Protein backbone atom coordinates (compact mmCIF):
# COMPACT_ATOMS: atom_id res chain seq x y z
CA UNK A 1 0.00 0.00 0.00
CA UNK A 2 1.38 3.41 -1.01
CA UNK A 3 2.05 5.89 1.75
CA UNK A 4 -0.21 8.95 1.52
CA UNK A 5 1.55 12.16 0.58
CA UNK A 6 1.24 14.88 3.20
CA UNK A 7 -0.43 18.19 2.41
CA UNK A 8 -0.98 21.45 4.28
CA UNK A 9 -3.73 24.05 4.17
CA UNK A 10 -2.51 27.38 5.53
CA UNK A 11 -4.90 30.32 5.99
CA UNK A 12 -3.72 33.92 5.83
CA UNK A 13 -4.35 34.46 9.55
CA UNK A 14 -1.86 31.68 10.31
CA UNK A 15 -4.29 28.80 11.00
CA UNK A 16 -2.83 25.46 9.83
CA UNK A 17 -4.56 22.24 8.79
CA UNK A 18 -2.53 19.11 8.08
CA UNK A 19 -3.89 16.32 5.89
CA UNK A 20 -3.23 14.22 2.79
CA UNK A 21 -2.76 15.15 -0.85
CA UNK A 22 -5.93 14.80 -2.92
CA UNK A 23 -6.08 15.07 -6.70
CA UNK A 24 -3.03 16.67 -8.32
CA UNK A 25 0.16 16.96 -6.29
CA UNK A 26 1.31 20.55 -6.24
CA UNK A 27 0.46 23.94 -4.80
CA UNK A 28 -2.44 26.36 -5.19
CA UNK A 29 -3.76 29.62 -3.71
CA UNK A 30 -7.16 31.28 -3.56
CA UNK A 31 -9.91 32.58 -1.31
CA UNK A 32 -11.07 29.78 0.97
CA UNK A 33 -14.86 29.40 1.21
CA UNK A 34 -17.30 26.62 2.06
CA UNK A 35 -20.30 25.00 0.37
CA UNK A 36 -22.97 23.26 2.46
CA UNK A 37 -24.41 21.09 -0.31
CA UNK A 38 -24.43 17.35 0.35
CA UNK A 39 -24.33 16.63 -3.38
CA UNK A 40 -23.51 18.43 -6.61
CA UNK A 41 -19.73 18.49 -6.19
CA UNK A 42 -19.16 18.09 -9.94
CA UNK A 43 -21.35 21.12 -10.75
CA UNK A 44 -19.56 23.07 -8.01
CA UNK A 45 -16.12 22.19 -9.37
CA UNK A 46 -17.07 23.38 -12.87
CA UNK A 47 -18.99 26.54 -11.88
CA UNK A 48 -17.07 29.58 -13.25
CA UNK A 49 -18.27 31.64 -10.25
CA UNK A 50 -15.66 29.74 -8.18
CA UNK A 51 -12.71 31.11 -10.17
CA UNK A 52 -9.76 31.89 -7.83
CA UNK A 53 -11.46 30.16 -4.89
CA UNK A 54 -10.59 27.09 -2.84
CA UNK A 55 -13.83 25.31 -1.95
CA UNK A 56 -14.38 23.41 1.30
CA UNK A 57 -17.18 20.83 1.16
CA UNK A 58 -18.97 20.52 4.51
CA UNK A 59 -20.46 17.09 3.68
CA UNK A 60 -18.09 14.43 5.09
CA UNK A 61 -17.97 12.05 2.09
CA UNK A 62 -17.24 13.41 -1.38
CA UNK A 63 -17.10 11.32 -4.55
CA UNK A 64 -19.76 8.73 -3.67
CA UNK A 65 -21.41 8.80 -7.10
CA UNK A 66 -18.27 9.58 -9.10
CA UNK A 67 -17.86 11.87 -12.10
CA UNK A 68 -19.75 11.74 -15.40
CA UNK A 69 -19.69 13.62 -18.70
CA UNK A 70 -23.13 15.25 -18.31
CA UNK A 71 -23.14 17.03 -14.94
CA UNK A 72 -20.77 19.85 -15.80
CA UNK A 73 -21.46 23.58 -15.81
CA UNK A 74 -18.56 24.69 -18.04
CA UNK A 75 -15.84 23.19 -20.19
CA UNK A 76 -13.33 22.74 -17.35
CA UNK A 77 -12.84 22.69 -13.57
CA UNK A 78 -12.95 26.29 -12.35
CA UNK A 79 -12.00 26.07 -8.65
CA UNK A 80 -8.43 26.82 -7.59
CA UNK A 81 -8.41 24.03 -5.03
CA UNK A 82 -10.64 21.54 -3.22
CA UNK A 83 -10.90 20.65 0.49
CA UNK A 84 -12.72 17.54 1.74
CA UNK A 85 -12.94 15.31 4.79
CA UNK A 86 -13.04 11.88 3.16
CA UNK A 87 -12.71 10.79 -0.47
CA UNK A 88 -14.95 8.04 -1.84
CA UNK A 89 -12.62 6.55 -4.44
CA UNK A 90 -14.94 3.69 -5.48
CA UNK A 91 -17.99 5.45 -6.99
CA UNK A 92 -21.38 3.73 -6.85
CA UNK A 93 -23.48 5.02 -9.74
CA UNK A 94 -24.28 3.62 -13.17
CA UNK A 95 -23.53 7.02 -14.77
CA UNK A 96 -20.03 7.32 -13.28
CA UNK A 97 -17.08 7.45 -15.67
CA UNK A 98 -14.27 7.94 -13.14
CA UNK A 99 -13.52 8.63 -9.44
CA UNK A 100 -13.27 12.24 -8.31
CA UNK A 101 -9.56 11.96 -7.44
CA UNK A 102 -8.70 10.97 -11.00
CA UNK A 103 -10.85 13.80 -12.34
CA UNK A 104 -8.91 16.36 -10.28
CA UNK A 105 -5.58 14.86 -11.38
CA UNK A 106 -6.58 15.01 -15.05
CA UNK A 107 -7.35 18.73 -14.70
CA UNK A 108 -4.32 19.41 -12.45
CA UNK A 109 -6.43 20.62 -9.52
CA UNK A 110 -4.69 20.50 -6.13
CA UNK A 111 -6.74 19.34 -3.17
CA UNK A 112 -6.41 18.22 0.44
CA UNK A 113 -8.34 15.53 2.34
CA UNK A 114 -8.39 13.94 5.79
CA UNK A 115 -8.71 17.25 7.61
CA UNK A 116 -11.48 18.48 9.90
CA UNK A 117 -13.66 20.37 7.41
CA UNK A 118 -16.06 21.30 10.23
CA UNK A 119 -13.20 23.19 11.87
CA UNK A 120 -12.27 24.91 8.58
CA UNK A 121 -15.91 25.91 8.07
CA UNK A 122 -16.34 27.26 11.61
CA UNK A 123 -13.10 29.22 11.30
CA UNK A 124 -14.24 30.86 8.05
CA UNK A 125 -17.71 31.46 9.51
CA UNK A 126 -16.28 33.17 12.60
CA UNK A 127 -13.38 35.07 11.02
CA UNK A 128 -14.63 35.60 7.47
CA UNK A 129 -13.52 34.34 4.07
CA UNK A 130 -9.76 34.68 3.60
CA UNK A 131 -6.99 33.60 1.29
CA UNK A 132 -5.32 30.26 1.75
CA UNK A 133 -2.70 28.00 0.22
CA UNK A 134 -2.72 24.21 -0.23
CA UNK A 135 0.59 22.50 -0.84
CA UNK A 136 1.81 18.92 -1.06
CA UNK A 137 5.28 19.90 -2.36
CA UNK A 138 6.31 22.58 0.14
CA UNK A 139 5.54 21.81 3.78
CA UNK A 140 7.52 24.72 5.24
CA UNK A 141 5.10 27.06 6.98
CA UNK A 142 7.29 30.17 6.71
CA UNK A 143 7.76 29.57 2.99
CA UNK A 144 4.00 29.15 2.52
CA UNK A 145 3.31 32.34 4.50
CA UNK A 146 5.60 34.27 2.19
CA UNK A 147 3.82 32.95 -0.92
CA UNK A 148 0.39 33.63 0.59
CA UNK A 149 1.27 37.22 1.47
CA UNK A 150 1.52 38.02 -2.26
CA UNK A 151 -2.01 36.86 -3.12
CA UNK A 152 -4.50 39.72 -3.69
CA UNK A 153 -7.83 39.83 -1.87
CA UNK A 154 -11.08 39.28 -3.75
CA UNK A 155 -12.17 42.90 -3.25
CA UNK A 156 -11.47 44.86 -6.43
CA UNK A 157 -10.77 41.81 -8.59
CA UNK A 158 -12.38 41.62 -12.03
CA UNK A 159 -12.43 37.87 -12.72
CA UNK A 160 -15.16 37.89 -15.37
CA UNK A 161 -12.50 38.50 -18.04
CA UNK A 162 -10.75 35.26 -17.05
CA UNK A 163 -13.79 32.98 -17.41
CA UNK A 164 -15.72 34.74 -20.18
CA UNK A 165 -15.75 33.52 -23.77
CA UNK A 166 -13.35 35.46 -25.99
CA UNK A 167 -15.69 35.51 -28.98
CA UNK A 168 -19.45 35.29 -29.44
CA UNK A 169 -21.05 31.96 -30.36
CA UNK A 170 -24.48 30.46 -30.89
CA UNK A 171 -25.85 27.94 -28.38
CA UNK A 172 -26.56 24.93 -30.59
CA UNK A 173 -29.41 22.61 -29.67
CA UNK A 174 -32.00 20.28 -31.12
CA UNK A 175 -34.91 22.48 -30.07
CA UNK A 176 -37.17 23.63 -32.89
CA UNK A 177 -39.44 25.97 -30.90
CA UNK A 178 -37.14 29.00 -30.64
CA UNK A 179 -39.34 32.06 -30.50
CA UNK A 180 -37.20 34.62 -28.64
CA UNK A 181 -33.78 35.92 -29.66
CA UNK A 182 -31.63 36.33 -26.54
CA UNK A 183 -28.21 37.92 -26.08
CA UNK A 184 -26.52 36.27 -23.09
CA UNK A 185 -23.61 38.26 -21.66
CA UNK A 186 -21.01 35.82 -20.40
CA UNK A 187 -19.47 36.83 -17.07
CA UNK A 188 -19.04 33.13 -16.23
CA UNK A 189 -22.25 31.55 -17.48
CA UNK A 190 -23.37 28.07 -16.39
CA UNK A 191 -24.55 25.54 -18.95
CA UNK A 192 -27.83 24.82 -17.17
CA UNK A 193 -28.89 28.46 -17.50
CA UNK A 194 -28.52 28.09 -21.25
CA UNK A 195 -30.42 24.79 -21.22
CA UNK A 196 -33.36 26.33 -19.34
CA UNK A 197 -33.46 29.42 -21.55
CA UNK A 198 -33.53 27.08 -24.53
CA UNK A 199 -36.36 25.02 -23.00
CA UNK A 200 -38.30 28.27 -22.58
CA UNK A 201 -38.11 28.89 -26.33
CA UNK A 202 -35.01 31.06 -26.56
CA UNK A 203 -32.53 31.18 -29.43
CA UNK A 204 -29.35 32.14 -27.56
CA UNK A 205 -26.15 33.81 -28.66
CA UNK A 206 -23.45 34.16 -26.01
CA UNK A 207 -21.35 37.34 -26.03
CA UNK A 208 -18.02 38.13 -24.29
CA UNK A 209 -18.21 40.13 -21.08
CA UNK A 210 -16.64 43.22 -22.72
CA UNK A 211 -19.20 43.44 -25.53
CA UNK A 212 -20.42 47.00 -26.07
CA UNK A 213 -24.01 48.17 -25.94
CA UNK A 214 -23.72 49.15 -29.62
CA UNK A 215 -22.83 45.57 -30.57
CA UNK A 216 -25.80 44.21 -28.63
CA UNK A 217 -28.18 46.71 -30.24
CA UNK A 218 -26.81 45.80 -33.67
CA UNK A 219 -27.62 42.15 -32.87
CA UNK A 220 -31.14 43.36 -31.96
CA UNK A 221 -32.23 40.68 -29.47
CA UNK A 222 -35.68 40.36 -27.89
CA UNK A 223 -34.05 40.27 -24.48
CA UNK A 224 -30.70 40.47 -22.70
CA UNK A 225 -29.48 38.00 -20.08
CA UNK A 226 -26.72 38.92 -17.60
CA UNK A 227 -24.98 35.81 -16.32
CA UNK A 228 -23.43 34.71 -13.06
CA UNK A 229 -19.68 35.02 -12.57
CA UNK A 230 -16.79 35.44 -10.11
CA UNK A 231 -15.07 38.38 -8.45
CA UNK A 232 -16.02 41.84 -7.26
CA UNK A 233 -19.02 43.21 -9.22
CA UNK A 234 -17.93 46.84 -8.77
CA UNK A 235 -14.73 46.01 -10.69
CA UNK A 236 -16.72 45.03 -13.82
CA UNK A 237 -17.05 48.65 -14.88
CA UNK A 238 -17.42 47.87 -18.59
CA UNK A 239 -20.41 45.64 -17.81
CA UNK A 240 -22.05 48.28 -15.62
CA UNK A 241 -21.66 50.93 -18.33
CA UNK A 242 -23.03 48.59 -21.02
CA UNK A 243 -26.14 47.84 -18.95
CA UNK A 244 -26.70 51.55 -18.26
CA UNK A 245 -26.88 52.14 -22.02
CA UNK A 246 -29.31 49.27 -22.58
CA UNK A 247 -31.77 50.02 -19.76
CA UNK A 248 -35.24 50.72 -21.10
CA UNK A 249 -34.39 49.56 -24.62
CA UNK A 250 -34.58 45.79 -24.16
CA UNK A 251 -35.87 43.53 -21.33
CA UNK A 252 -33.04 42.51 -19.00
CA UNK A 253 -32.78 39.50 -16.68
CA UNK A 254 -29.76 38.95 -14.41
CA UNK A 255 -28.59 36.12 -12.17
CA UNK A 256 -25.97 36.37 -9.38
CA UNK A 257 -23.16 38.62 -10.71
CA UNK A 258 -25.68 39.72 -13.33
CA UNK A 259 -27.97 40.81 -10.46
CA UNK A 260 -25.18 42.85 -8.92
CA UNK A 261 -24.17 44.45 -12.23
CA UNK A 262 -27.78 45.41 -12.97
CA UNK A 263 -28.14 46.88 -9.45
CA UNK A 264 -24.94 48.90 -9.85
CA UNK A 265 -26.09 50.14 -13.25
CA UNK A 266 -29.32 51.32 -11.65
CA UNK A 267 -27.42 53.29 -9.01
CA UNK A 268 -27.22 50.86 -6.06
CA UNK A 269 -24.06 49.75 -4.23
CA UNK A 270 -22.56 46.35 -3.39
CA UNK A 271 -20.47 45.09 -0.47
CA UNK A 272 -18.52 41.96 0.44
CA UNK A 273 -20.25 39.47 2.72
CA UNK A 274 -18.34 38.08 5.70
CA UNK A 275 -18.27 34.52 4.35
CA UNK A 276 -20.79 34.45 1.51
CA UNK A 277 -23.71 32.19 0.69
CA UNK A 278 -22.83 28.85 -0.90
CA UNK A 279 -25.10 25.83 -0.79
CA UNK A 280 -28.38 24.37 -2.03
CA UNK A 281 -30.77 24.96 0.89
CA UNK A 282 -30.88 28.72 1.45
CA UNK A 283 -34.36 30.07 2.30
CA UNK A 284 -35.48 33.13 0.30
CA UNK A 285 -38.80 34.95 0.63
CA UNK A 286 -40.67 36.26 -2.39
CA UNK A 287 -41.82 39.68 -1.14
CA UNK A 288 -44.81 39.81 -3.49
CA UNK A 289 -46.34 36.41 -2.73
CA UNK A 290 -44.85 35.79 0.73
CA UNK A 291 -43.83 32.34 -0.48
CA UNK A 292 -40.57 30.80 0.70
CA UNK A 293 -38.22 29.37 -1.93
CA UNK A 294 -35.40 26.99 -1.08
CA UNK A 295 -32.55 28.11 -3.31
CA UNK A 296 -29.13 27.28 -4.67
CA UNK A 297 -26.56 30.01 -3.97
CA UNK A 298 -22.95 30.89 -4.66
CA UNK A 299 -21.83 34.46 -4.03
CA UNK A 300 -19.47 36.43 -1.82
CA UNK A 301 -20.83 39.93 -2.52
CA UNK A 302 -24.32 41.38 -2.04
CA UNK A 303 -26.37 44.40 -3.07
CA UNK A 304 -26.83 47.02 -0.35
CA UNK A 305 -30.61 47.26 0.16
CA UNK A 306 -30.28 50.73 1.69
CA UNK A 307 -28.74 52.00 -1.54
CA UNK A 308 -31.60 51.01 -3.87
CA UNK A 309 -32.90 54.05 -5.80
CA UNK A 310 -36.61 54.93 -5.73
CA UNK A 311 -37.36 53.25 -9.05
CA UNK A 312 -36.02 49.87 -7.82
CA UNK A 313 -37.89 47.58 -5.45
CA UNK A 314 -36.65 44.59 -3.49
CA UNK A 315 -38.46 41.44 -4.66
CA UNK A 316 -36.67 38.69 -2.70
CA UNK A 317 -34.95 38.61 0.72
CA UNK A 318 -32.56 36.08 2.25
CA UNK A 319 -34.19 34.80 5.45
CA UNK A 320 -30.86 33.91 7.06
CA UNK A 321 -29.35 37.39 7.10
CA UNK A 322 -31.96 39.66 5.42
CA UNK A 323 -29.68 40.51 2.48
CA UNK A 324 -30.83 41.23 -1.07
CA UNK A 325 -31.89 38.27 -3.19
CA UNK A 326 -33.79 40.03 -5.98
CA UNK A 327 -34.79 43.38 -7.45
CA UNK A 328 -37.14 44.80 -10.08
CA UNK A 329 -37.05 48.17 -11.79
CA UNK A 330 -40.43 49.93 -11.80
CA UNK A 331 -39.96 52.11 -14.88
CA UNK A 332 -38.10 49.77 -17.27
CA UNK A 333 -38.28 46.02 -17.98
CA UNK A 334 -35.36 44.82 -15.85
CA UNK A 335 -35.18 42.36 -12.96
CA UNK A 336 -32.64 40.06 -11.37
CA UNK A 337 -32.01 37.58 -8.56
CA UNK A 338 -28.93 36.92 -6.47
CA UNK A 339 -29.48 33.17 -6.19
CA UNK A 340 -29.43 30.47 -8.90
CA UNK A 341 -32.88 29.55 -10.26
CA UNK A 342 -31.24 27.16 -12.76
CA UNK A 343 -30.53 25.04 -9.65
CA UNK A 344 -27.64 22.92 -10.82
CA UNK A 345 -27.30 21.56 -8.22
CA UNK A 346 -30.29 22.35 -6.04
CA UNK A 347 -34.09 22.59 -5.78
CA UNK A 348 -36.36 23.77 -8.61
CA UNK A 349 -38.48 26.23 -6.60
CA UNK A 350 -37.41 29.31 -8.58
CA UNK A 351 -37.54 28.23 -12.20
CA UNK A 352 -40.64 30.39 -12.75
CA UNK A 353 -38.21 33.29 -13.18
CA UNK A 354 -37.29 32.10 -16.67
CA UNK A 355 -40.98 32.32 -17.62
CA UNK A 356 -41.04 35.83 -16.15
CA UNK A 357 -38.26 36.78 -18.59
CA UNK A 358 -40.23 35.24 -21.46
CA UNK A 359 -43.30 37.30 -20.54
CA UNK A 360 -41.30 40.52 -20.66
CA UNK A 361 -39.98 39.64 -24.11
CA UNK A 362 -43.42 38.61 -25.38
CA UNK A 363 -44.75 42.13 -24.66
Q: Which residues are catalytic?
A: 256, 340, 342
Q: Please calculate the CA angle 101-104-107 and round it to the nearest 5 degrees.
A: 150
How far apart, in whole angstroms, are the C-alpha atoms of residue 285 and residue 223?
26
Q: How many CB atoms lie within 10 A of CB 362?
A: 12
- Residue pair 80/32 in contact by the 8 Å Cβ criterion: no
Q: Please calculate the CA angle 335-337-340 and round it to the nearest 5 degrees.
A: 140
How far apart, in whole angstroms, are the C-alpha atoms of residue 272 and residue 304?
10
Packing angle of the helix pair 191-199, 352-362 (nearest 10 deg): 60
- 3-state DSSP helix/strand/coil percent for the chain, to nearest 5? 25, 35, 40
Cβ-in-10-Å burial (0-12, 13-18, 19+) of 204 comes to buried
Q: What residues form DSSP beta bridges with 18?
A: 8
What contacts 125, CB < 8 A, 6 or more positions away? 34, 275
The candidate with the shortest Cα–Cα distance to 18, out of 192, 182, 139, is: 139
Amino acid sequence: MNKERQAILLLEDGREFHGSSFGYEGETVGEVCFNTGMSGYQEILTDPSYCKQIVTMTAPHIGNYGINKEDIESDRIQVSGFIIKEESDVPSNWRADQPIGNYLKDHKIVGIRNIDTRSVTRHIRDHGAMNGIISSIDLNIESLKEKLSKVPTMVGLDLAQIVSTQSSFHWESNSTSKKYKVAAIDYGIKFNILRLLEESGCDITIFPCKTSAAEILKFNPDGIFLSNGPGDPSAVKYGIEMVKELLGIKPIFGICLGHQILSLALGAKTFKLKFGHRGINHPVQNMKTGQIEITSQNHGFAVDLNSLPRNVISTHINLNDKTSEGIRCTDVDAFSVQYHPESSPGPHDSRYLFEQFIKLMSK
